[in-house]
Amino acid sequence: MRRPLLRRLRAIATRRHPTQVVVLGFVAAIAVGTLLLWLPPASAEEGSAPLGAALFTATSAVTVTGLVVVDTPTYWTPFGQVVILALIQIGGFGLMTGASLLFLVAARRLGLRGRLAAQAETQTLDLGDLRRLVLGVAVLTLAFEAAATIAIGTRLAVAGEAYGDAAWHGLFHAVSSFNNAGFALYSDSFIGFVTDAWLMVPVALTVIAGGLGFPVWLDLARRDRRPQRWSLHTKLTLAATGAFLAAGVALVTALEWSNEGTLGAHGAGGKLTAGFFAGVMPRTAGFNALDYGEMNPETLLVSDVLMFVGGGSGSTAGGIKVTTAALLLMIVWAEVRGRSDVSAFRRRMPPSAQRQALAIVVVSLAVVLAATLFLMIDSQHGLSPALFEVVSAFGTVGLSTGITPGLSDAARVVLEVLMLAGRVGPMTLAVALILREAEPRYRHPEERPLVG
C-alpha cells in the first residue's frame, strides 16, 4: 500500500515545474513552523500563541526575514526559540540548495553551446552530483556558523554573560547572521552593543559571508586566488557587493553623523563602528544597533535602495540581487555610451540575461509600489515608513521603524506574502524566464517607436 502511494507522490512531484517544487517546499516549512509555534509550550503567555502571531513569525523565520510582531526573547519560550532557530536554518539551507538546483535545471535546458560556455565559465556542479552539492552547502554553512558562534559567544562571555547563556546566544545569532535572518534574543536587537566593535564586526562579516552565496564560495574554493581566473558571476558579485557596501556604509554614516537619536550620541570610534554595522545590515540581515524610527528620511531612503538590491544570487540574502542591479547599470552605461554590446570583465552579456534582469526589476518594483500603496491606505502611515516596511519585507531584511506590531491583520498578510515572494520570487522568476527561453520561428518587420 505504501509503495503505490509513494510512487504516486513521486510522480506528482516530478511532473511539477521545478520552481513550483521550491515554492511548495517553503510553504510546507511555514505550515509546519506555524503549528509548532502554535503549541502551548512555545509561548511564554498562558495557553497557545495567537495563530496570526505564530504564522507571521514562522513566515519571517523560514524566509529568513526577521520582521516580528512579538518580542522574540520574552514572548517565546526556549522551545519556541529553538523552533525559530530550526526554521531559520531550514530556510537558509533550503534557499542555497534550492537556488543552486534550480539554476542547474535551467542550465540543462540551454542549447549545447550555451551549456558548454556556462560550464567552462562557472565550473558549476552537474545534476548528476547532487550529493556533492548538498554536502558542499552543508559544510559551508556549518563552517561559517561554527566560527561565528565561537567569536560571538566568546565576546558575550567576556562581556559578563553566563557561559551557558553566552553559548546559546552565540549559536542563535551566528545562525541568524549567516542566514541573514535578523532574529535576535535581545529585545532591542544589538542596540545595547552599538559601539562594541568586538561583537559588531564578527556579526557584520558573517552577514556578508552568507550574502555572497554558495556559487561564489564554490568558485573561490575551486580556483586559485588570481581574480582573472574567477568566473564572471564571482567577479560581478564581489565587485558589486564591495561597491554597495562601501556606498551604504559611507552614506549611512555621513547622513546620521550628527543625529542625536542615532550616531550623534557617540564618540568618533563608536560612530564609525555603528555606521559600519548600519551600512551592512540592509544587505537583508535585519539586525539593528540604531533606532530606525529616529533615523533621517534620507537615511531611510538609502536603506530602501540597499534592501531592494540585497545580496548575491544563490545566497541567504534577498532582494533583486547585486548581479541583477549591476547588469541593469551596465545596460544603462552601454546605452549612454552608444554601445550595442553590454560587457564586463571582457565578457559580453547575452541579450536574454539583459531582458531577464529588466523583467525582475520591473516586476519587483511593481510589487513594492502596490504593497506600499495598500499599507499607506490601510494603516494611515506616511510614504517613508510604509515604503521602508514593504521593502524590508520584500527584501527579506527585517529592519523596521517600529510600525509592524501595530499593523492590521490585512497588512500583516500583505507583509507575509511579500516575505515569501521576496524569498523565492526573483529566483523562480529568473529560472522560469530561462526555461521559457526559445528562438521564435518567425520575426515581425522592424519599426522604431519614439522613446523619451
Q: pLDDT tens across 120-167, in order?
A: 333 444 444 556 667 777 888 899 999 999 999 999 999 989 999 999
pLDDT of residue 427: 62
Higher pLDDT, 124 or 307: 307
- Cell 556542479 belongs to residue: 125
Confidence at residue 120, expressed as pLDDT on a 0 to 100 scale: 39
Report the pLDDT value the prediction gives residue 115, as an integer from 0 to 100: 43
pLDDT at 430 over 90: no
Average pLDDT over residues 200-209: 94
pLDDT per residue over 230-288, tens digit each? Answer: 888 889 999 999 999 999 999 999 999 999 999 998 999 999 999 999 999 998 888 99
The SS3 assignment for 43 reads: strand
- Averaged pLDDT score across all residues of the chain: 83
Mean pLDDT, to the nearest integer, of 82-99?
Answer: 82
pLDDT value for 12: 47
Burial class (CB in 10 A: 0-12, 13-18, 19+), 252: buried
The predicted-structure confidence for 342-373, as pLDDT tens digits, reads as follows: 888 888 888 878 888 888 898 899 999 999 99
pLDDT-derived band of residue 7, with 50, 70 and 90 as boundaries? low
CA angle 353, 237, 253 (to 5 degrees): 125
pLDDT of 225 above 90: no
State mean pLDDT over 27-54. 92
CA 57 vs CA 266, 368, 419: distances in Å: 33, 21, 11
Instruction: For residue range 438-447, list pLDDT tens digits in order.
Output: 566 767 777 6
Q: What is the pLDDT of residue 370?
A: 94
Least confident piece of the model among 89-98, 181-190, 321-330, 362-371: 89-98
The pLDDT of residue 50 is: 93
Query: Among 287-296, 319-328, 430-439, which stretch is predicted with the lowest mean pLDDT?
Result: 430-439
Is residue 395's pLDDT more than 60? yes
pTM for the model:
0.85
Residue 101 pLDDT class (50, 70, 90 cuts)? low
Is residue 450's pLDDT more than 80? no
pLDDT for the residue 440: 65
Return the pLDDT at 61. 93
User: How sure is the predictor about 218, in pLDDT bands with cuts at 50, 70 and 90?
Assistant: confident
Helix (H, G, I), strand (E, B) or coil at 76: strand
* pLDDT for 386: 93
| 180 pLDDT above the threshold of 80 | yes
Instruction: Tell which residue, 431, 434, 422, has the closest CA to residue 321.
Output: 422
pLDDT tops 50 at residue 118:
no
Q: With beta carbons less than 8 A apart as the criterion, state whether 293 and 392 touch.
A: no
- Tell me which of 67 and 129 has the higher pLDDT: 67
With contact defined as beta carbons under 8 Å apart, do 132 and 124 qualify?
no
Tell whether the model's pLDDT for residue 337 goes beyond 90.
Answer: no
Specify the DSSP class assigned to residue 40. Answer: G
358-365 CB contacts, 8 Å cutoff, 24+ apart: 358/328, 358/331, 359/429, 359/433, 360/320, 360/324, 360/426, 360/429, 360/430, 361/320, 361/324, 361/325, 361/328, 363/425, 363/429, 364/308, 364/320, 364/394, 364/425, 364/426
Number of CB atoms found within 10 A of residue 231's CB: 23
Instruction: Tell me the percentage of the chain whose pLDDT exceeds 90.
Output: 49
The answer to whether residues 258 and 367 touch, using CB atoms and an 8 Å cutoff, is no
Environment class of 291 (CB within 10 Å of its CB; exposed 0-12, middle 13-18, buried 19+) = middle
